[in-house]
């Protein structure tokens, strides 16, 4: 799966939330279908997201992309270490969770 391509499809046809805080809250509220983590996500934040996702049974997607690359793939001028996928739109990213 090409994560960049899937993120650009989500950007155009789906709904997502950027950043640790928004992603964490969407997991707790069970509104996230999945959460994508950057390869350089800080360990303490990664641990908190992993624990919340396991508790709420939200799938995690471990990306090979850095936070900056994820931000660029979503058309943003900033980094995003976590992205909560609320609605994947026409993307097939949820078929690749784990």
Does pLDDT of 50 surpass 70? yes
Q: Phi/psi at 82 (nearest 5 deg)?
A: -145, 140
Chain mean pLDDT for the chain? 94
- Specify the CATH number of the domain 3-96: 3.30.1330.30
Window from 11-15, 28-32, 71-75, 91-95 with minimum mean pLDDT: 91-95
- The pLDDT tens digits for 56-87 are 999 999 999 999 999 999 999 999 999 999 99
Identify which of 93, 78, 76, 74 has the alpha carbon closest to the alpha carbon of residue 35: 93
Give domain limits for the chain: 3-96
Distance of alpha carbon 81 from alpha carbon 79, whole angstroms: 7
User: For the residues 10-33, what does the mean pLDDT come to?
Assistant: 96
């Amino acid at each position: 799966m090409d994560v960049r391509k899937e993120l650009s499809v989500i950007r155009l046809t789906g709904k997502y939330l950027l950043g640790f805080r928004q992603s964490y809250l969407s997991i707790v509220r069970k509104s996230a279908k999945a959460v994508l983590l950057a390869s350089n996500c800080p360990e303490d934040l990664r641990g908190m997201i992993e624990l919340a996702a396991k508790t709420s049974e939200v799938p995690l997607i471990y990306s090979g992309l850095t936070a900056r690359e994820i931000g660029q793939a979503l058309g943003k001028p900033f980094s995003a270490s976590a992205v909560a996928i609320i609605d994947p739109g026409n993307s097939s990213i949820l078929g690749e969770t784990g």
